[in-house]
């Protein structure tokens, strides 16, 4: 097998790993924003989820309990966001900022107080984590040229959360475009007054979307703390919630392109990790920061409307007021 | 029976105070949750922040940065926009000041120093120019673009500080020291000119700039034609068009002022204290600005008070972390989060109830 092929396989493999938390958060944002609630609190919900997962898995060495705790913590934060933006009709962006700031402070202070490791949670044993699953025949398939290597390196050997995240993309597509709830969800993000006139509760629909966002951010956080790493560390999300937000815009709030956008940003991350100190013929060293900046730069260019237009759901960010007195 | 507006002391006094009190109550619960006494913590904080010349100096030094970033958020708020990019604009302000200081070291200080301050303001404003233009003329949401620009600023600064602008021979990501003529005098140095002795703290001349900036913003927003236009656009852009005001133009101008104010935050940290450009020097001041602006209800007087409160929290929090290792400095971030939540996102939660209570005593229907 050629060396270049092997490098590509490894890059794709690490891109998948790096794009999974983005994908969870991106799909979380998709539900929330398609229902008309701006969610810049993805970062905070993922962070509190990661902390809850790491803390719980260190006490109960079972990854599923960690996942459950992550989802509960993240949903709790989502409900705060929902209460502020839906019930109290407050500023949704300010609510999202509050979620992010609270999560960053609370995880650090509680982690330090409870575990005395400077904000970390204890290192998890293998049994408390989601481990990599080797798919059937992965080793014997290596003998098959090209496909065998792809199967063994890229497709096999991920944790259950990775496969879960990938399955979530068609599932979200189906939910949004082929179910009654999905139709209503999209409607409430475009024209809540029409949904209200049809006798449906705008409040209930928006809450259900916000809770869905909480669940998925919890998955993303759990992935970071107990699948990708063996425990929570301070500020573990490191801006991934915002990259996911960028990916959501990049995907124009649609599930299948969201997968593409998250994979692209994951790949950029993987490339940035690999090219540190590598000199390219004719170009020389490419600064890592240039690659790290690309997701943000691409999103701004897209938002500017120069390469296609990203149009958000019409009613996004606008609290719904029933009476017009 | 028609409702009339609640009196100012109620909406601008009691309601924000109740919101902030609830935020502190919530933070107190967190302290209790980790097994410490919230009242004792409060006492240590207040003593650490206000109990000595040393503490007070540090408190006002933190306050300086928060006044700038708080004013930055507030000016954008008045035009109806949420500039969440204060962090990035402040970083670029530092870059602007450093570029002037490092490239023109031969100038005498009466020329160099104002140029450095100007460089900070202009660079901060420049960093919001693209998001402002895109918001005004292409409808790209300013919140998203400024978030992206925060990350771009951070990566750009890291690139410059480990690469082209790095001081030769230094391991740390920092530039060379500026010439003395490019740095602001410390408050204790200035006191010495008048024969007064003050404890040495990082408090510097930029505190005076911050107070002047607050007064200027007040005059701008409430006493000038431009301020009127900004408030009109913020209140109702459609009405502004009928009044002959261009919302797009006013949006760009207001955001440039906002970015410039955020950039001036660098005068405190870079020109006042560090005397060189370092990485991540903003330390979250851009986000504190959001809490400060919300708490101060967008009014410069309220912002100075709110910035002072956060200055007390930052300095007191440092002392608290020293005395009570379980309550780390992140406690300030928790309080900040609760303030943003209760004074920002949930600002109307208690307003209706307080208005109803007032009504019962005043005997007149009011709307909050």
Q: B84–A97: do the CB atoms touch at under 8 Å?
A: yes
Does a structural domain hold residue B45? no
Residue B213 and residue B208: Cα distance in Å, rounded?
A: 9
Cβ within 8 Å of B, A 277-296 = 287, 289-290, 292-293, 296
Q: In angstroms, how far is CA B333 from the centroid of its own chain?
A: 14
Residue B76 and residue B9 share a domain = no
Does a structural domain hold residue B175? yes
To probe the interface with A, which of B32, B128, B146, B147 has the most A CB atoms within 10 Å? Answer: B147
To probe the interface with A, which of B41, B139, B151 has the most A CB atoms within 10 Å? Answer: B151
- Chain A positions touching B138 (Cβ under 8 A) are 304-305
> Is the pLDDT higher at B229 or at A307?
B229
Residue B70 and residue B29: Cα distance in Å, rounded?
A: 27
Q: A113–B155: do the CB atoms touch at under 8 Å?
A: no
Inform me whether the C-beta atom of residue A62 falls under 8 Å from chain B C-beta atoms.
no
Task: Give the rounded percent of residues in chain B with a pLDDT score beyond 90.
Answer: 71
- Chain A positions touching B143 (Cβ under 8 A) are 38, 40, 93
Q: Mean pLDDT, to the nearest integer, of A54-58?
A: 94
- Segments in chain A forming alpha helices (H): 3-34, 42-59, 63-82, 92-115, 138-141, 147-150, 160-178, 180-190, 192-197, 202-223, 240-250, 255-274, 288-303
Residue B328 and residue B325: Cα distance in Å, rounded?
A: 6
- Chain B positions touching A85 (Cβ under 8 A) are 345
Residue of B156, B337, B345 lying closest to A84 (CB–CB): B345
Residue B343 and residue B358: Cα distance in Å, rounded?
A: 20
Q: B345–A88: do the CB atoms touch at under 8 Å?
A: yes
Q: Mean pLDDT, to the nearest integer, of A106-127?
A: 89
pLDDT for position A324: 56
Q: How many CB atoms lie under 10 A from the CB of residue B312? A: 22
- The angle formed by the CA atoms of residues B272, B276 and B279, to the nearest 5 degrees, is 105
Inform me whether the C-beta atom of residue A79 falls under 8 Å from chain B C-beta atoms.
no
Does a structural domain hold residue B56? no
Q: Return the residue of A nearest to B34 by Cα.
A: A113
Q: B348–A88: do the CB atoms touch at under 8 Å?
A: yes
Residue A33 and residue B144: Cα distance in Å, rounded?
A: 13
Q: Mean pLDDT, to the nearest integer, of B21-46?
A: 92
- Chain B positions touching A97 (Cβ under 8 A) are 84, 287, 290, 340, 344
Inform me whether the C-beta atom of residue A304 falls under 8 Å from chain B C-beta atoms.
yes
Sign for the CA dihedral angle at B175, B180, B181, B185 comes to positive
pLDDT band at B274 (very low <50, low <70, confident <90, very high): very high
pLDDT for position B71: 98
pLDDT for position B3: 58
Task: Give the rounded percent of residues in chain A with a pLDDT score beyond 70.
Answer: 97
Inform me whether the C-beta atom of residue A305 falls under 8 Å from chain B C-beta atoms.
yes
Residue B136 and residue B155 share a domain = yes
Q: B134–A300: do the CB atoms touch at under 8 Å?
A: yes
Tokens of B274: 């560090």
Q: Mean pLDDT, to the nearest integer, of A68-74?
A: 97
Residue B104 and residue B11 share a domain = no
Nearest to residue A11, comparing CAs of A270, A287, A261, A228? A270
Cβ within 8 Å of B, A 138-177 = none
Task: Give the rounded percent of residues in chain A with a pLDDT score beyond 90.
Answer: 56
Residue B335 and residue B318 share a domain = no
Residue of B145, B327, B347 lying closest to A303 (CB–CB): B145
Residue B113 and residue B17 share a domain = no
Residue B172 and residue B116 share a domain = yes
Residue of A110, A112, A292 lying closest to B155 (CB–CB): A292
Residue B144 and residue B235 share a domain = yes
pLDDT for position A1: 55
Q: CATH number for A3-303: choose from 1.10.3470, 3.40.50, 1.10.1760, 2.40.160.
A: 1.10.3470
The pTM of the whole model exceeds 0.80: yes
What pLDDT, in 10s, does the model give residues A290-311? 888 888 888 888 888 776 667 7
Q: How far is the alpha carbon of A62 from chain B, nearest alpha carbon, in Å?
A: 25
pLDDT band at B1 (very low <50, low <70, confident <90, very high): very low
Q: B330–A109: do the CB atoms touch at under 8 Å?
A: yes
Q: Return the residue of B nearest to A243 by Cα.
A: B148
Q: How many CB atoms lie under 10 A from the CB of residue A204? A: 12
Residue B334 and residue B297 share a domain = no
Query: B183 to each of B23, B103, B107, B117, how far by Cα in Å?
Result: 38, 14, 13, 10
Does a structural domain hold residue B16? yes
Q: Find tokens 């990485």 and name the residue.
A: B279
Residue of B334, B335, B345 lying closest to A90 (CB–CB): B345
What pLDDT, in 10s, does the model give residues B140-181? 889 889 999 999 999 999 999 988 888 888 888 899 999 998
CB B143 within 8 A of CB B84: yes
Q: Return the residue of A nearest to B33 by Cα.
A: A110
Q: B148–A297: do the CB atoms touch at under 8 Å?
A: yes
Question: What DSSP designation does B135 have?
Answer: I
Query: A92 to each of A248, A254, B270, how far by Cα in Å?
Result: 17, 21, 34
Residue B196 and residue B134 share a domain = yes
Q: Which domain does B15 fall in, by range?
A: 1-36+330-368
pLDDT for position B38: 92
Q: How far is the alpha carbon of A124 from chain B, nearest alpha carbon, in Å?
A: 23
B186 pLDDT more than 70? yes
To probe the interface with A, which of B15, B155, B290, B320 has the most A CB atoms within 10 Å? Answer: B155
Residue B312 and residue B270 share a domain = yes
Q: Which of A167-171, B76-80, B102-106, B161-165 is least confident?
A: B161-165
Using a 10 angstrom Cβ sphere, with 0-12 exposed, 13-18 middle and 19 or more buried, the burial of residue A261 is: buried
Does a structural domain hold residue B49? no
**ipTM associated with this complex:** 0.90
pLDDT for position A307: 63
- Chain B positions touching A101 (Cβ under 8 A) are 287, 291, 333, 336-337, 340
Q: Return the residue of B nearest to A113 by Cα.
A: B326
**Is residue A289 classed as helix, strand or coil in its secondary structure?**
helix
Q: B34–A304: do the CB atoms touch at under 8 Å?
A: no
Count of domains forming chain B: 2
Strand bridging mode A284-285 / A279-280? antiparallel
Q: How far is the alpha carbon of B31 from chain A, nearest alpha carbon, in Å?
A: 9
Residue B234 and residue B134 share a domain = yes
Inform me whether the C-beta atom of residue A88 falls under 8 Å from chain B C-beta atoms.
yes
Q: How many CB atoms lie under 10 A from the CB of residue B14? A: 18
Q: Return the residue of B nearest to A285 by Cα.
A: B163
- The angle formed by the CA atoms of residues A185, A186 and A190, to the nearest 5 degrees, is 120
- Chain A positions touching B33 (Cβ under 8 A) are 110
Residue of B147, B332, B341 lying closest to A98 (CB–CB): B341
What pLDDT, in 10s, does the model give residues A201-250? 999 999 999 999 999 999 999 999 999 999 999 989 988 999 999 899 88
């Amino acid at each position: 097998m050629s060396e270049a092929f092997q490098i590509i396989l490894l890059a794709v493999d690490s891109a998948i790993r790096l794009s999974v938390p983005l994908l969870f958060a991106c799909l979380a944002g998709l539900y929330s924003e398609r229902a008309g609630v701006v969610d810049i609190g993805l970062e905070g919900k993922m962070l509190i989820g990661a902390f809850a997962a790491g803390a719980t898995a260190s006490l109960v060495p079972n990854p599923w309990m960690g996942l459950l705790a992550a989802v509960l913590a993240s949903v709790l934060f989502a409900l705060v966001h929902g209460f502020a933006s839906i019930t109290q009709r407050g500023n949704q962006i300010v609510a999202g900022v509050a979620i992010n700031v609270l999560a960053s402070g609370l995880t650090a202070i509680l982690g330090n107080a409870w575990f005395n490791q400077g904000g970390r949670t204890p290192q998890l044993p293998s049994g408390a984590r989601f481990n990599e699953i080797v798919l059937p025949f992965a080793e014997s398939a290596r003998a098959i040229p090209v496909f065998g290597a792809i199967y063994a390196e890229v497709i096999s050997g991920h944790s259950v959360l990775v496969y879960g995240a990938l399955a979530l993309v068609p599932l979200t597509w189906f939910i949004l475009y082929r179910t009654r709830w999905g139709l209503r969800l999209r409607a409430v993000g475009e024209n809540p007054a029409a949904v209200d006139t049809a006798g449906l509760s705008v409040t209930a629909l928006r809450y259900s979307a916000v809770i869905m966002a909480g669940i998925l951010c919890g998955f993303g956080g759990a992935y970071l703390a107990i699948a990708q790493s063996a425990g929570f560390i301070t500020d573990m999300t490191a801006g991934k919630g915002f990259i996911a937000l960028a990916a959501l815009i990049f995907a124009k709030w649609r599930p299948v392109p969201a997968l593409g956008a998250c994979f692209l940003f994951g790949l950029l991350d993987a490339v940035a990790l690999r090219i540190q100190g590598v000199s390219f013929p004719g170009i020389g060293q490419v600064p890592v920061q240039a690659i790290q900046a690309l997701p943000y730069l691409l999103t701004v260019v897209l938002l500017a409307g120069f390469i296609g237009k990203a149009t958000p759901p019409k009613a996004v960010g606008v609290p719904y007021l029933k009476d017009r007195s | 029976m028609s409702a009339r507006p609640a009196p100012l002391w109620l909406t601008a006094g009691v309601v924000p105070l109740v919101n902030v009190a609830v935020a502190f109550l919530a933070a107190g619960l967190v302290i209790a949750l980790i097994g410490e006494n919230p009242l004792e913590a409060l006492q240590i904080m207040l003593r650490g922040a206000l109990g000595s010349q040393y503490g007070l100096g540090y408190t006002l030094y933190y306050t300086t940065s928060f006044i700038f970033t708080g004013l930055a958020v507030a000016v954008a708020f008045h035009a109806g926009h949420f500039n969440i990019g204060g962090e990035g604009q402040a970083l670029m302000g530092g870059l602007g000041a450093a570029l002037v200081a490092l490239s023109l070291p031969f100038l005498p200080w009466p020329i160099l120093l104002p140029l450095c301050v100007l460089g900070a303001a202009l660079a901060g404003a420049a960093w919001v120019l693209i998001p402002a233009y895109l918001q005004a003329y292409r409808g790209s949401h300013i919140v998203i673009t400024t978030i992206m620009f925060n990350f771009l600023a951070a990566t750009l600064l890291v690139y410059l500080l480990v690469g082209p602008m790095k001081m030769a021979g230094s391991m740390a990501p920092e530039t060379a020291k500026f010439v003395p003529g490019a740095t602001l005098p410390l408050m204790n140095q200035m006191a010495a000119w008048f024969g007064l002795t003050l404890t040495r703290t990082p408090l510097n001349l930029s505190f005076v700039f911050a107070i002047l900036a607050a007064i200027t913003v007040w005059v701008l927003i409430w006493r000038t034609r431009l301020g009127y236009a900004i408030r009109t656009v913020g209140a109702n852009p459609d009405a502004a068009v009928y009044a002959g005001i261009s919302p797009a133009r006013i949006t760009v101008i207001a955001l440039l002022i906002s970015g410039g104010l955020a950039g001036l935050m660098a005068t405190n940290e870079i020109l006042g204290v560090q005397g060189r450009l370092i990485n991540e020097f903003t330390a979250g001041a851009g986000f504190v600005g959001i809490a400060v602006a919300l708490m101060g209800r967008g009014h410069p007087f309220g912002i100075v008070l709110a910035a002072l409160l956060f200055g007390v929290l930052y300095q007191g929090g440092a002392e608290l972390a020293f005395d009570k290792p379980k309550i780390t400095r992140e406690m300030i971030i928790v309080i900040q989060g609760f303030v943003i939540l209760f004074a920002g996102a949930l600002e109307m939660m208690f307003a209706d109830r307080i208005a109803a209570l007032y009504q019962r005593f005043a005997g007149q229907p009011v709307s909050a």
